[in-house]
Amino acid sequence: MGVIDRKRVAARRAVTPAPLPLDTILRGDCIAAMKALPAASIDCIFADPPYNLQLGGDLNRPDGSHVDAVTNDWDKFDSFATYDRFTRAWLKEARRILKPDGTIWVIGSYHNIFRVGAAVQDLGFWILNDIVWRKANPMPNFRGTRFTNAHETLIWASMGEKARYTFNYRSLKTLNDELQMRSDWEFPICGGPERLKQDGVKVHPTQKPEALLYRILLASTQPGDVVLDPFFGTGTTGAVARRLGRRYIGIEREDAYVAAAEARIAAALPLDESLLVTMQAPRNAPRVSFGTLVENNIVAPGTLLTDAKRRWQAVVRADGSLACNGSEGSIHKLGATLQGAPSCNGWTFWHHQQGDALSPIDTLRQTWLLATQP
């Protein structure tokens, strides 16, 4: 449970097993290929499995054997069961190779996403969000028989309820003009120069836009992390991973897709490392205690602090504790006590006189950090 900080990220990267086939495309069946990868070795998985049950050619049984051509007459229950077996088989392997603090993304439509989501939960993953990709330019419903199918759904899950995971909250908030990123994302469908074509014909029927993978990888991975895509197709995941300084492993069965993906990724330009520095959460800054400021006489014992509305006034004591009206405690504890609140961030609650105005003591901490950090 919780978001991973940088120290921990560095520690876990150091133990990444050596034999991973980094930045390559493994040709073949995704379940067999995943079986050959070491356990707990992957930071993030993005999976775009086949959507439509009637595309029988895309289905394999858990043992790897091919499912014979599905006709229009196939029995409905049987086909759902077949799809479920396939889904649970590849998800199980995905779970085996993910690190304990890794996450998995799966994209789908109403044809398959409910089955995928139930399987994700049944296998012990813990859903963090479902994300809606709103298509800016979806294909209309030509016959006027339903609502325009204008979105697809992504599921984002960690390894379990208590598992840690990476979520670059500050980066995403910055990306969204200082508003929390929501669970509904709008992107155009993949077209224009980005859409891979061969002799004027699109190479892959469901090529995903790079903007979608850009947001996914920026949100849930760190530079250097290993991203696996078991349904690699024409390699959108690999191209974006390379641009963003992440390592990728792709798995793909069709030779034509592999060839297109390799050319495409080779042409993708990695961003300069300095550009991959993103906004960091304050929790990743070194911790400074209030006592440090007192010890260094940034705040002298005897200084009077008040809240923003001057309802309470407390005196700083020699050990960095505060005292007010017979109550005492740390900057946090006393703030909580006085307000009758369960908790309180003392850094922003307590203020000191700064000329005519009041200034939160957090500014003193920032000054101290700037002065002491290299």
Partner DNA sequence: ATGAATTCTGAATCTAGGG
Partner DNA sequence: TCCCTAGATTCAGAATTCA
Contact flag: residue 8 with DNA (CB under 7 A): yes
- Residues whose CB is less than 8 angstroms from the CB of residue 308 and which lie 6 or more positions away in sequence, other chains included: 349, 351, 358, 360
Specify the residue, 37 or 98, whose C-beta has the smaller distance to a copy of itself: 98
* 4: Cα separation from own chain's centroid: 11
Phi, psi at 227, each rounded to 5°: -110, 125
Contact 268, 243 (CB under 8 A): yes
Residue 110: helix, strand or coil by DSSP? coil
Question: Binding of a copy of itself at residue 68 (CB under 8 A)?
Answer: no
Sign of the alpha-carbon dihedral angle for 153, 260, 230, 276: negative
Whose Cβ is closer to DNA: residue 247's or residue 321's?
321
CA distance 235 to 248: 10
Binding mask 97-136 for DNA (x = CB under 7 A): ------------xxx---------x----xxxx------x
Q: How far is the CB of 270 from DNA (least distance, A)?
A: 24
For a copy of itself, the closer of residues 40 and 315 by Cβ is 315
Q: Which two tokens stand for residue 309?
A: 């509305």
Q: Is 367 in the site for DNA (CB under 7 A)?
A: no
Residue 164 near residue 1, CB atoms below 8 Å: yes
In the complex, what is the shortest distance from the CB of residue 323 to DNA, in angstroms, rounded to a whole number? 15
Which part of the chain contacts a copy of itself (CB under 8 A), choosing from 93-101, 150-158, 197-205, 354-362? 150-158
**Using alpha carbons only, what angle is made at residue 170 by residues 164 and 173, rounded to the nearest 5 degrees?**
120
Q: CB under 5 to 8 A by kind: which of a copy of itself, DNA, none does 189 bind?
A: DNA
Q: Whole-number minimum distance, CB 305 to DNA, in Å? A: 14
Give the pair of three-digit tokens for residue 253: 């069965």
> Shortest approach of DNA to residue 20 CB, angstroms?
26
Window 137 to 166, contacts with DNA (CB under 7 A): 137-146, 148-149, 152, 164
Residue 141 makes contact with a copy of itself by CB under 8 A: yes
Residue 49: name its binding partner from DNA, a copy of itself, none (Cβ under 5 to 8 Å by kind).
DNA
| For DNA, the closer CB: 77 or 273 | 77
Based on the shown chain and the rule CB under 8 A, indicate whether residue 139 belongs to the binding site for a copy of itself.
no
Binding string, residues 295-334; x marks residues near DNA by CB under 7 A: -----------------------------------xxxx-
Under the criterion CB under 8 A, does residue 64 sit at the interface with a copy of itself?
Answer: yes
DSSP for residue 54? T
Per rule CB under 7 A, count of chain residues that contact DNA: 88
Task: List the one residue from 14, 69, 357, 370 that touches DNA (CB under 7 A).
Answer: 69
Contact code string over 280-309 relative to a copy of itself, x by CB under 8 A: -x----xx-xxxx-xxxx---xx-------
Residue of 172, 196, 227, 364 that binds a copy of itself (CB under 8 A): 172
Distance CA 7, CA 10 (A): 5
Site for DNA in 24-43 (CB under 7 A): none
- Report the alpha-carbon angle 254-193-132, nearest 5: 75
196 is a contact residue toward DNA (CB under 7 A): no
Alpha carbon distance 82, 292 (integer Å): 63
For residue 200, state whether it binds DNA (rule: CB under 7 A). Answer: yes
Which of 55, 263, 275, 318 is the binder for DNA (CB under 7 A)? 55
Which residues in the 181-240 window bind a copy of itself by CB under 8 A? 181-184, 186-188, 210-211, 214-215, 218-219
Residue 256: strand, helix, or coil: helix
> How far is Cα 292 from Cα 125, in angstroms, rounded to an integer?
42
CA distances from 38 to 34, 79, 102 (A): 8, 32, 14
One-letter amino acid for residue 113 of the chain: I
Residue 251's beta-bridge partner residues?
Answer: 26
Name the minimum Å distance from CB 106 to DNA.
10
Token duo for residue 36:
């050959």
